[in-house]
Amino acid sequence: MLAVVFTLGEDRFAAPASIVREIAPLSVLMKTHKAPDYVAGLLDYRGEIIPIIDLCRLIMGRPCRRLMSTRIIIADYNPAPAIHRTIGLLAEQVTDTTVVNELDLNPSGLALPDARYLGDVFKTEDGLAQFVQVEDILDADVRNLLYSEEGHAA
């Protein structure tokens, strides 16, 4: 499978390229007041208002740095069979793709109930990388806050 590889601080992560619609440059976002701090804001993506999740803030507790390689990964967000949305993932050094053989995926060995979105681990030329399970990135409360019943960002 093809994967988009990015970093959060010094650690490498990936998302399946099959869910990625586009890699967008860092843009001005509309603030989402009263939302969790890892919700970086809202973006008008081709007429669709989508929430942007700061993966650095979510996973590491600090905002993504404003680097030339910091990008927004526009991805399909399907947390349940009948729910099809779009989400933006803010990450650093979004500059690479790699082919991952599914036989090379290994469980991390950690069961983190508050971080179900951290998936399998695989080896890269630069060390280990961990998949981010996009469908598990938001818990039900935050998903209900960010998405209206019509399927648009609130």
In this structure, what CATH number is given to the domain that contains residue 14?
2.40.50.180
Total number of domains constituting the chain: 1
pLDDT score at 37 = 94
pLDDT tens sequence for the chain (154 residues): 999 999 998 899 999 999 999 999 998 899 988 889 999 999 999 999 999 999 999 999 999 999 999 999 999 998 888 878 999 999 999 989 999 998 899 888 777 778 889 999 999 888 899 999 999 999 888 888 888 654 455 5
For residue 62, being part of any structural domain is answered with yes
pLDDT score at 151 = 45
Angle at 95 between CA 116 and CA 106, to 5 degrees: 35
For residue 152, being part of any structural domain is answered with no
For residue 153, being part of any structural domain is answered with no
Structural domain boundaries enclosing 79: 2-146
For residue 151, being part of any structural domain is answered with no
For residue 80, being part of any structural domain is answered with yes
